[in-house]
């Protein structure tokens, strides 16, 4: 073993132990449970893992297309948020160990890899292993990252690669002599970060460009620009085949576009005051904290952590300016873009009163927002990017820019830890105590939601599995069952109209009003055109659902086959119908 491996191996093992201890419920249930609720994104990823393994090892089919989801058009999988190429690479492990184990093992591995990447970055800058280890722990214990355990595997892939891209950028732009190997390594890690989750085309690239511009260098701005172009070209070469695949897939699924309106996305930026909230997702004080900081979505879970704030402030105040400045710029740019296109405060738009003529003039900047005629929203630089930067309007959750922000703060905290260690041996105990506090503040387990995968299995899936292959069905109530109906497809193997990804396919969006939340006469006409055979209706034992069933039973052209006294999620009944000509 080389001397470098001997130096760094204990830290890598330390992250394995840290991730295992802080996620002990998942470790002991790694084959049976997932983090999150029964209807959340984890089940989308479980389906994808199953499909990739099935396509490669059983059907030798195109893994990036299936006719069995979003029937009758089918699903071009590269149009979704999850990185099919990485999931495809996991197919052998899925084949051996199953999709639940593969999902959980991969999820935990991203945290080990991400923490170790930050460790290598801080060690490169400080040569202090203990301080570097604390920095990596800060990164992977951040609530904005542990929140992603609920199914955002794409974000976790990018989170894991981002520290290595940052280290590559630092080595590339601080070197006196241009080195091809450094440039290629930087470009590859930037590409891998983007390929994890395409949001990182912006979330990684913009902060890293700002970061590189302030790295201490002696080569001048022309050489900086040359190196930046070469890194970008390398990343483009790696990304291009996958970008082309994604473009083709999106063209098939969203021929009319695929952007979010400003009104649908402006509120998904972070509110500055929430950065200084306690961990709102904490297993012990999360509920208490949410009384003061109400949570309306993932953009609210952005707490920096008080220990991190103190240690990063110490590193910023007493660290060398040349060393801290690039990370300060990275943090500032990330923070500004994480706030979204419109300023938020208390997790809502920050509005100012103004005379009606002034307010109406200001509202021309954001005509899509419905605001009172005497109110002004405060625009941010993200609004310019939303209107002018290609593809930027396809981003919905601006709060994910918090990830490079947390990376920058973790490194600054590492600088603070390194300064403490230089004061004497006794300060090692202080740093160890700070590490314990970091872990306690970011503790993810016991999880606020932990689901046994079998909870979404039901007897109707067994019935459907016995029917001839190629049967087609739709599940109601829409759209609440779409994600789990897609997961159920992996259990029964038939074709479903339902499906889930970031954007609803254009064909289904146009038909949504006709299909309705529940079966109706207008929907039956369309389902007959699509040659759908079965309609499945899930519900609970209640008077309200009994009334819904009574109206469904009156529909001509829909015949009841069987009722199953179980269901997925919170449903307790599953009713099976078939489209029948006689009614």
**Tokens standing for 519?**
């079966």
pLDDT recorded at residue 117: 98
List the one residue out of 561, 556, 563 whose CA is nearest residue 582. Answer: 556
As a whole number of angstroms, the distance between CA 261 and CA 541 comes to 38
Domains along the chain with CATH numbers: 3-336+400-442 (no CATH), 457-579 (3.40.190)
As a whole number of angstroms, the distance between CA 75 and CA 67 comes to 6
Instruction: Kindly report the average pLDDT of the chain as a whole number.
Output: 94
pLDDT recorded at residue 575: 97
As a whole number of angstroms, the distance between CA 443 and CA 260 comes to 34
pLDDT recorded at residue 582: 59
What value does the mean pLDDT take over residues 359-375? 86
Cβ neighbours of 28 (radius 10 Å):
10
Over the stretch 86-136, which tens digit does the pLDDT of each residue have? 999 999 999 999 999 999 999 999 999 999 999 999 999 999 999 999 999
**What kind and span of H or E run contains 539?**
strand 534-539
**Tokens standing for 200?**
């990182």
Q: How far is CA 231 from the centre of its chain?
A: 25
pLDDT recorded at residue 2: 63
Count of H helices and E strands in the chain? 26, 13
As a whole number of angstroms, the distance between CA 21 and CA 449 comes to 18
List the one residue out of 16, 51, 23, 281 whose CA is nearest residue 143. Answer: 281
Over the stretch 134-182, which tens digit does the pLDDT of each residue have? 999 999 999 999 999 999 999 999 999 999 999 999 999 998 888 899 9
**Tokens standing for 416?**
């603070």
User: Whole-model pTM?
Assistant: 0.95
- For residue 474, what pLDDT band results from cuts at 50, 70 and 90? very high
As a whole number of angstroms, the distance between CA 143 and CA 136 comes to 14
> Where do the H-state alpha helices sit in 175-220?
180-196, 200-203, 205-213
List the one residue out of 255, 232, 194, 249 whose CA is nearest residue 77. Answer: 249
As a whole number of angstroms, the distance between CA 266 and CA 445 comes to 31
Cβ neighbours of 104 (radius 10 Å):
23
Cα-based distances in Å from 534 to 66, 464, 473, 495, 531: 19, 10, 5, 10, 9
What value does the mean pLDDT take over residues 539-567? 94
As a whole number of angstroms, the distance between CA 397 and CA 269 comes to 7
- For residue 70, what pLDDT band results from cuts at 50, 70 and 90? very high
pLDDT recorded at residue 403: 98
Over the stretch 230-282, which tens digit does the pLDDT of each residue have? 999 999 999 999 999 999 999 999 998 778 888 888 899 999 999 999 999 99
List the one residue out of 358, 453, 332 whose CA is nearest residue 46. Answer: 453
The burial class, CB within 10 Å (0-12 / 13-18 / 19+), for 243 is middle
pLDDT recorded at residue 360: 86
List the one residue out of 83, 76, 328 whose CA is nearest residue 199. Answer: 83
What value does the mean pLDDT take over residues 58-85? 94
- Could you tell me the sign of the dihedral formed by the alpha carbons of 461, 467, 470, 474, in that order? negative
Asked if 544 and 563 touch (Cβ cutoff 8 Å), the reply is no
Cα-based distances in Å from 214 to 224, 290, 319, 330: 10, 38, 15, 9
pLDDT recorded at residue 3: 63
What value does the mean pLDDT take over residues 67-91? 96
Percentage with pLDDT > 70 across the chain: 99
As a whole number of angstroms, the distance between CA 124 and CA 10 comes to 16
- For residue 198, what pLDDT band results from cuts at 50, 70 and 90? very high
Over the stretch 293-339, which tens digit does the pLDDT of each residue have? 999 999 999 999 999 999 999 999 998 999 999 999 999 999 999 99
In residues, how long is the chain?
583
What value does the mean pLDDT take over residues 194-202? 96
Over the stretch 336-350, which tens digit does the pLDDT of each residue have? 999 999 999 999 999
- For residue 581, what pLDDT band results from cuts at 50, 70 and 90? low
As a whole number of angstroms, the distance between CA 101 and CA 240 comes to 31
User: In this model, does residue 583 exceed pLDDT 50?
Assistant: no
Q: How many CA atoms lie within 13 A of 114 on its CB side?
A: 30
Residue with tokens 């002991």: 28
Cis bond before residue 446 (omega within 30° of 0): yes
């Amino acid at each position: 073993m080389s001397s470098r491996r001997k130096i760094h191996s204990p830290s890598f093992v330390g992250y394995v132990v840290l991730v295992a201890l802080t996620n002990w419920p998942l470790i002991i249930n790694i084959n049976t449970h997932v983090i999150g609720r029964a209807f959340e994104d984890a089940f989308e990823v479980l389906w994808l893992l199953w499909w990739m393994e099935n396509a490669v090892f059983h059907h030798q089919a195109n893994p990036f297309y299936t006719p069995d989801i979003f029937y009758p058009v089918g699903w071009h999988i590269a149009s979704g948020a999850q990185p099919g190429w990485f999931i495809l690479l996991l197919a052998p492990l899925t084949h051996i160990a199953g999709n639940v184990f593969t999902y959980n093992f991969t999820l935990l591995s991203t945290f080990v890899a991400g923490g170790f990447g930050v460790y290598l970055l801080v060690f490169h800058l400080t040569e202090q292993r203990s301080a570097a280890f604390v920095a990596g722990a800060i990164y992977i214990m951040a609530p904005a990252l542990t929140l992603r355990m609920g199914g955002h595997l794409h974000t976790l892939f990018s989170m894991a690669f981002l520290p290595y891209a940052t280290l590559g950028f630092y080595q590339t732009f601080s070197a006196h002599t241009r080195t091809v190997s450094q440039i290629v390594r930087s470009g590859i890690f930037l590409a891998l970060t983007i390929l994890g989750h395409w949001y990182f085309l912006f979330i990684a690239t913009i902060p890293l460009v700002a970061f590189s511009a302030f790295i201490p260098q002696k080569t001048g701005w022309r050489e900086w620009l040359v190196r930046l172009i070469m890194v970008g070209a390398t990343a483009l070469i790696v990304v291009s085949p996958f970008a082309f695949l994604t473009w083709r897939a999106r063209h098939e699924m969203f021929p009319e576009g695929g952007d979010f309106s400003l009104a649908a996305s402006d509120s998904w930026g972070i509110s500055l005051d929430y950065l200084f909230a306690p961990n709102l997702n904490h297993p012990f004080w999360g509920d208490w904290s949410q009384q003061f900081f109400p949570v309306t979505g993932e953009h609210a879970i952005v707490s920096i952590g008080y220990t991190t704030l103190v240690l990063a402030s110490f590193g910023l105040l007493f660290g060398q300016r040349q060393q801290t400045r690039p990370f300060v710029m990275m943090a500032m740019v990330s923070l500004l873009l994480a706030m979204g296109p419109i300023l938020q405060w208390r997790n809502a738009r920050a509005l100012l009163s103004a005379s009606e003529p002034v307010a109406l003039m200001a509202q021309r900047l954001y005509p899509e927002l419905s605001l009172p005629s005497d109110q002004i929203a405060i625009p941010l630089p993200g609004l310019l990017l939303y209107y002018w930067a290609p593809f930027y309007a396809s981003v919905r959750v601006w709060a994910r820019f918090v990830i490079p922000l947390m990376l920058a703060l973790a490194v600054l905290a590492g600088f603070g830890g390194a300064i403490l260690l230089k004061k004497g041996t006794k300060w090692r105990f202080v740093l160890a105590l700070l590490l314990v506090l970091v872990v306690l503040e970011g503790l993810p387990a016991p999880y606020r939601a932990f689901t046994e995968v079998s909870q979404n299995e039901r007897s109707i899936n067994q019935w459907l599995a016995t029917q001839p292959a190629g049967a087609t069905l739709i599940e109601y109530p829409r759209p609440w069952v779409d994600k789990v109906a897609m997961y159920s497809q992996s259990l029964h193997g038939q074709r479903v109209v339902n499906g889930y990804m970031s954007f609803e396919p254009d064909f289904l969006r146009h038909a949504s009003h006709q299909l309705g939340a529940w079966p109706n006469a207008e929907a039956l006409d369309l389902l007959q055109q699509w040659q759908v055979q079965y309609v499945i209706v899930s519900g609970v034992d209640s008077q309200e659902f009994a009334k819904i069933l009574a109206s469904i039973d009156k529909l001509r052209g829909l015949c009841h086959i069987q009722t199953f006294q179980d269901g997925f999620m919170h449903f307790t009944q599953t009713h099976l119908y078939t489209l029948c000509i006689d009614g």
